[in-house]
Amino acid sequence: MYAIVEIAGHQYKVQKDQRIYVNRLEGEAGAKVSFDRVLLTDDNGKVEVGAPVIEGVAVKATILEHLKADKVIIFKKKRRKGYKVKNGHRQAITSIQIEGIGKGTAKKAAPKKAEAKTEEAATEKKAAAKKPAAKKTTAKKADSAKAEAKPAAKKPAAKKPAAKKPAAKKADDKKSEE
Digitized pLDDT (tens) for each residue of the chain, 178 residues in all: 999 999 999 999 999 999 999 999 999 999 999 999 999 999 999 999 999 999 999 999 999 999 999 999 999 999 999 999 999 999 999 999 999 998 864 444 344 445 555 666 666 666 666 655 555 555 555 555 555 555 555 666 666 666 665 666 665 666 666 5
Distance, in Å, from the CA atom of 64 to the CA atom of 93, rounded to the nearest integer, reads 11
- What does the angle CA 148 – CA 149 – CA 152 come to, to the nearest 5 degrees? 100
- pLDDT number for residue 103: 80
Is the CA virtual torsion 163, 167, 170, 172 positive or negative? negative
Peptide bond into 111 cis (omega under 30): no
Q: What is the pLDDT of residue 106?
A: 44
Boundaries of every domain in the chain = 2-71+87-106, 108-146
